Chain A
Amino acid sequence: MHKYMTDYLDETCKAIRGRELRQTARGELADHMRERYGDLIQEGLEAEAAALETIKRMGEPELLGQRITKANRSLRKTLIALGSLALFILSFLFTILLSGEPIWYLDAASFVAVGGLSTAYGILCCGRNLSLRNFFKHVKTGALYAGGISTLIGFIAILQIMAVDLSHLGSAVATAIITLIYGLALSAAARIAESRLPAPEDGVVKGLLE
């Protein structure tokens, strides 16, 4: 397959959510493009011109990827997922309320540490391409790193504590794990924010289409 067409498929697939959908959509689009390319070659076009014409006829790759993702969303599946999440959160809160214990999973210092590290990571990675979508795209990854690093720092502190005083071991372990939860939650929130923002008009293939 011509490199322009492979690049086109890469750009399109970046905008498709879900590994299985990405694989099947890629296979289907590749099959289509191969046939169109073959027909154009038979009509007498040179390889490069045929590849350019093929990708031109397919349209804007990122937009196509987003539309494919949207077309595969099922209201029923979304409602089931949301319902399961709501059930999980409600049962968690219910357990906390019934136990009568203070809500230990809220730790401001941990949240600020993870949030601060993720934000710094997001801004530094954006560099000159600072936009809201780019920012959330990098925060999505940064939050995982921040949560992981903070948890490791927490466990190092635990090992130090263990040598001296075991009475605060429980809360130290809890604090270390909380930073991981914050990292995961922030990453998920950044992913949702990124998906809601309009896609930028960039990419290898758009340059070829102009």
Chain B
Amino acid sequence: MAYDGQLLKGTVSIMVLKLLTENDRYGYQIIRELEKRSESVFLLNEGALYPVLHKLETDEQISSYWEESGGRKRKYYHITPKGTELFESKRQEWADFAGMVSKILKEFRRGQLCTST
């Protein structure tokens, strides 16, 4: 199922931060992990990940370092304490928001059932 891009917008950063709280990762690893965990529902425009990562780094939510891997240098990202703090607050914000939307939609559906009977 293709989801509205507007729903995904704004949540990519929080998903990236979540993955980085678990382990340091590089760009392609993040993409693969998002695909795997979303069961291929979230098929991001892969290039779009990099402006997100760079913005998070500019804002000091994450930091980066280069590491040799298979004879090539690879850029890894690491979440900073500032990033961890942001992630926790955004996670809570998302949980509250999603809960509120679900509640409204549930009440709307109950309203529909009431009017139909």
Contact = CB atoms under 8 A, between A and B. Distances in A.
B51 A31 contact: no
Given A57-B45, A71-B55, A25 B28 contact: no
B54 A58 contact: no
Interface in B35-80: 45-48, 50-52, 54-55, 58, 72-75
B27 A32 contact: yes
A161 B103 CA distance: 87
A36 B28 contact: yes
Contacts of A27: 73, 75
B26 A31 contact: yes
Chain B contact-residue range equals 10 to 19
Chain A contact-residue range equals 20 to 34
Given A32-B28, A74-B58, A67 B48 contact: yes
**Which has the most chain B C-beta neighbours within 10 Å: A32, A35, A67?**
A32
B43 to A, nearest CB: 8
**Which has the most chain A C-beta neighbours within 10 Å: B47, B58, B72, B74?**
B47
A205 to B, nearest CB: 11
A25 B52 CA distance: 13
Contacts of A67: 48, 50-51
Contacts of A45: none
A64 B51 contact: yes
Contacts of B26: 31
A67 B52 CA distance: 9
Contacts of A68: 50-51, 54
Contacts of A58: 45-47
Contacts of B50: 25, 28-29, 32, 64, 67-68, 71
Contact of B46 (A32, A70, A71, A73): A32
Nearest to B44: A57
Contacts of B27: 28, 31-32
A128 to B, nearest CB: 31
**Which has the most chain A C-beta neighbours within 10 Å: B28, B46, B58?**
B46
Q: Which 5 A-B pairs have the closest CB atoms?
A: A67-B51, A71-B54, A58-B47, A71-B55, A71-B51
Interface of A: 12, 24-25, 27-29, 31-32, 35-36, 57-59, 61, 64, 67-68, 70-74
23 contacts: A25-B50, A27-B73, A27-B75, A28-B27, A29-B47, A29-B50, A31-B75, A32-B28, A35-B28, A36-B46, A58-B45, A58-B46, A61-B47, A64-B47, A64-B50, A64-B51, A68-B51, A68-B54, A71-B50, A71-B52, A71-B54, A72-B54, A73-B58
Given A28-B50, A31-B75, A73-B58, 18 more contacts: A12-B47, A24-B75, A29-B47, A31-B28, A32-B31, A36-B46, A57-B45, A58-B46, A59-B48, A61-B47, A67-B48, A67-B50, A67-B51, A71-B52, A71-B55, A72-B54, A72-B58, A74-B58
